[in-house]
């Protein structure tokens, strides 16, 4: 037998021995060659497939039974565009009408710069999911098939010496394509491999196995680098004598990288799950809080000025220091800042620094690890971590112990925290809003508050006006609170006498809006009928010497006289017999004086 015939015979044996199905197609897509594996998988005999259109016989329908037009069939794309096509998640049909899932490769066959046919290598992936097609050659076209294959294919003799390799294998293994001879299986597999002989693709076939496959093993390149592979090896038989081994392998680097990314994503999901659980626990606590009011009410100039500042600073990440007396609603303005900011999709995490014991503030703000102190039975995220990418509201910031202020300063400067009991630094992205009723400048001068922390916090100070500075808003707030508590207590309060409103307007409200709300709530409870009744309110520091002598300030006398005139004409302002005519002033002037003196007719609560 000549060398050429020996080569052809060897290629014929390779094709016949291949474990995957192989079809050879002519340029019209008719089957010109079929190997035993293909016949076995499809149930046909050779005479029934040769000369037939491969698409019509094996690929005529999709997995769901819908027709598969030939012009859409990837098998024929190789005949059209001359490219190699790797297809997964499709089915081939057997002679008996059943189907089986396949991975297949459709590859053009080139001869003299022209496409003369195509070879289709397919694999029944119901049992074999990772192994790629084993390609072999038959006679002249066999070499073209091997050259066109997209997976690495190597042949070894019984001594492990390389007998052939396709260009893909040579490229993967960094062999010189013109002369890969002289390589052995030991150059490719076994270096630093525990139990190398147990997984050797050649050794296992030599031990009598008809098929051996392995996943996530290492093949070595000629340059000393390596890459992970899946491979399948099968025997080359001739006259029932083992002649060698064919190995088909694929580089799974991308698959492993995808798996690593998946594991990383799962870890991140677990971390997010834990964070969401912690956030949920915190938010459940917040749901149970009794917020004193739910909206900012008022139209006074002082209030509008502050609201304008809120609108300006809210869209930024600037730290805001809210200043104001107790009861002015500092938390409400903090919520407005958060809701108007780009961070409003994340939670606003509140910390009342005055309500926490000094020994727990650090744990509450920065979190702790299990066992970091007595009673720390589990890891807990701090409020700063919970507020990541959101906003944290540090209420009563002036109550933070001096020794903890340095750590808070680090958070503001570096955006980093450390849990108690853990040296690991955690990066956070948090917008800080602080509030206090105390004079921080005086605390700095007294050494009770760090000067550098004060300047970090007061980048944008926001001073909330006291209620006595926005008396024009009292009537609106009174009606709101009356409606709120009357509805809550299932009562009807639809009349607020002018004397009651005068009483409320003349009071100095040291407790601000919170005190006003408490007064209205108590009054709604004590009012037996539909008219709101409130006992006289006395300013704590008011000098009653004038009252003791029966004397009143000029404004009070003017107010009382105007009310008397209004009541005498049923509160008619204009007209011939109106109050303005009696007082000999223009109706608009009277209206202006009434507004300035807070004179309003008894109103109906809404």
Phi then psi for 154, rounded to 5 degrees? -130, 145
Same domain for 496 and 433: no
Provide the CATH number for the domain around residue 587: 1.10.8.60
Q: Yes or no: say if 418 and 428 are a contact pair by the CB < 8 Å rule.
A: no
- Evaluate whether residue 265 is within a structural domain: no
CA atoms within 13 A on the CB side of 31: 25
Instruction: Examine the domain organization and report whether 358 and 233 are in the same domain.
Output: no
In the block, which residue shows the tokens 């300063």?
A: 409
Query: 119, 148, 177 — which closes off a domain?
Result: 148
Residues 477 and 587 in one domain: yes
Domain ranges, residue 52: 3-148
- Determine, yes or no, domain membership for 270: no
Rg of the chain over all Cα atoms, to the nearest angstrom = 44
Domain count along the chain: 4
- Residue 215, pLDDT score: 86
pLDDT at residue 62, as a whole number: 78
Full-model pTM: 0.47
Last residue of a domain, one of 420, 446, 465: 465
Asked if residue 472 and residue 423 are part of one domain, the reply reads no
Asked if residue 188 belongs to a domain, the reply is: yes
Both 506 and 594 in one domain: the answer is yes
Residue 317: predicted pLDDT: 93
Same structural domain for residues 88 and 33? yes
Residues 514 and 583 both lie in one domain = yes
CATH number, position 205:
3.30.450.20
Outline where 207-300 has alpha helix (H): 253-287
d(CA 194, CA 191): 9
Beta-sheet pairing, 226-238 with 241-251:
antiparallel
The mean pLDDT values, 10 residues at a time, for the chain of 606 residues are 69 80 89 91 90 82 80 82 86 87 89 90 74 43 66 87 85 74 82 76 86 88 88 89 90 87 84 69 47 64 90 93 91 91 90 80 82 71 88 91 87 86 85 93 89 92 93 89 90 88 89 90 88 83 49 78 86 83 82 81 51
**Of 85, 117, 148, which residue constitutes the final position of a domain?**
148
Same domain, 420 and 296: yes
Can you read off the two tokens belonging to residue 102? 């396949």
Burial class of residue 573, CB neighbours in 10 A (0-12, 13-18, 19+): middle
474 and 437 in a common domain: no
Same domain, 535 and 595: yes
3-state SS string over 343-409? CCCCCEEEEECCCCCCCCHHHHHHEECCCCCCCCCCCEECHHHHCCCCEEEEECHHHCCHHHHHHHH
At residue 48's C-alpha, the angle toward residues 42 and 54, to 5°, is: 65
Q: Are residues 205 and 294 in the same domain?
A: no
Sheet holding 31-34, edge to edge: 31-34, 21-26, 114-124, 99-111, 85-93
Q: Kindly state whether residue 258 falls inside one of the protein's structural domains.
A: no
H or E stretch at 413: helix 402-414
CATH number of the domain residue 424 falls in: 3.40.50.300
481: tokens are: 């609170």
Distance CA(58)–CA(97), nearest Å, equals 10
- Predicted local distance difference test score (pLDDT) of residue 291: 38
Q: Are 455 and 520 in the same domain?
A: no
Residue 283 covered by a domain: no
DSSP 181-223: TT-BHHHHS-TT-TTHHHH-HHHHHHTT-S-EEEEEEEEE-TT
pLDDT at 548: 46
Q: Tell me how far the alpha carbon of residue 211 is from its chain's centroid.
A: 46
279 in any annotated domain: no
| Alpha-carbon gap, residue 34 to 183, rounded angstroms | 31
Domain annotation covers residue 280: no
- Domain-embedded: residue 309: yes
């Amino acid at each position: 037998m000549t060398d050429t015939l020996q080569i052809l015979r060897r290629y014929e044996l390779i094709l016949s021995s291949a474990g995957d199905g192989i079809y050879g197609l002519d340029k019209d897509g008719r089957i010109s060659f079929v190997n035993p594996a293909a016949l076995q998988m499809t149930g046909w005999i050779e005479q029934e497939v040769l000369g037939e259109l491969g698409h019509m016989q094996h690929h005529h329908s999709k997995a769901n039974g819908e027709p598969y037009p030939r012009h859409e069939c990837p098998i024929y794309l190789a005949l059209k565009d001359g490219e190699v096509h790797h297809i997964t998640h499709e089915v081939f049909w057997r002679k008996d009408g059943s189907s089986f899932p396949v991975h297949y490769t459709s590859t053009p066959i080139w001869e003299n710069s022209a496409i003369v046919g195509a070879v289709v290598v397919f694999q029944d992936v119901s049992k074999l999911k990772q192994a790629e097609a084993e390609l072999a050659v038959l006679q002249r076209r066999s070499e073209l098939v091997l050259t066109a294959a997209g997976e690495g294919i190597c042949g070894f003799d019984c001594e492990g010496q390389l007998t052939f390799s396709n260009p893909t294998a040579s490229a993967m293994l960094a062999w010189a394509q013109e002369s890969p001879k002289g390589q052995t299986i030991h150059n490719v597999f076994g270096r630093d491999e525990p139990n190398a002989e147990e997984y050797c693709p050649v050794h296992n076939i030599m031990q009598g196995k008809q098929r051996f496959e392995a996943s996530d093993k290492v093949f070595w390149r000629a340059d000393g680098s390596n890459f992970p592979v899946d491979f399948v090896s099968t025997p080359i038989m001739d006259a029932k004598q083992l002649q060698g081994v064919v190995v088909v392998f694929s580089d799974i680097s991308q698959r492993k990288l995808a798996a690593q990314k998946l594991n990383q994503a799962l870890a991140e999901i677990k971390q997010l799950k834990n964070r969401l659980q912690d956030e949920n626990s915190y938010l459940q606590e917040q749901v149970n809080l009794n917020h004193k009011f739910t909206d900012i009410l008022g139209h006074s100039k002082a209030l509008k000025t502050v609201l304008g500042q809120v609108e300006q600073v809210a869209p930024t990440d600037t730290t805001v220091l809210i200043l104001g007396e107790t009861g002015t609603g500092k938390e409400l303005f903090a919520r407005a800042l958060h809701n108007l900011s780009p961070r409003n999709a994340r939670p606003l995490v509140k910390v009342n620094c005055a309500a926490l014991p000094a020994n727990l503030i650090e744990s509450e703000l920065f979190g702790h690890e299990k066992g970091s102190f007595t009673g720390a039975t589990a890891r807990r995220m701090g409020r700063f971590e919970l507020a990541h990418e959101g906003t944290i509201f540090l209420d009563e910031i002036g109550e933070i112990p001096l020794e903890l202020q340095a750590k808070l300063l680090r958070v503001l400067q570096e955006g980093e925290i450390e849990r108690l009991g853990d040296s690991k630094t955690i990066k956070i992205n948090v917008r800080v809003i602080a509030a206090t009723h105390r004079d921080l400048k005086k605390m700095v001068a007294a050494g009770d508050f760090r000067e550098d922390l004060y300047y970090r916090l007061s980048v944008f100070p926001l001073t909330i006006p006291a209620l006595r500075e926005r008396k024009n808003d009292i009537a609106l707030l009174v009606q709101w609170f009356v409606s709120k508590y009357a509805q809550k207590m299932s009562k009807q309060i639809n009349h607020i006498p002018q004397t009651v409103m005068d009483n409320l307007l003349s009071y100095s409200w040291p407790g601000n809006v919170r005190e006003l709300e408490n007064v209205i709530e108590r009054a709604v409870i004590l009012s037996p009928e539909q008219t709101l009744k409130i006992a006289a309110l006395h300013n704590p520091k008011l000098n009653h010497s004038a009252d003791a002598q029966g004397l009143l300030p000029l404004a009070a006398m003017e107010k009382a006289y105007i009310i008397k005139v209004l009541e005498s004409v049923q509160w008619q302002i204009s007209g011939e017999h109106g109050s303005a005519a009696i007082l000999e002033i223009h109706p608009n002037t009277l209206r202006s004086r009434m507004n300035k003196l807070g004179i309003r007719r008894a109103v109906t609560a809404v």
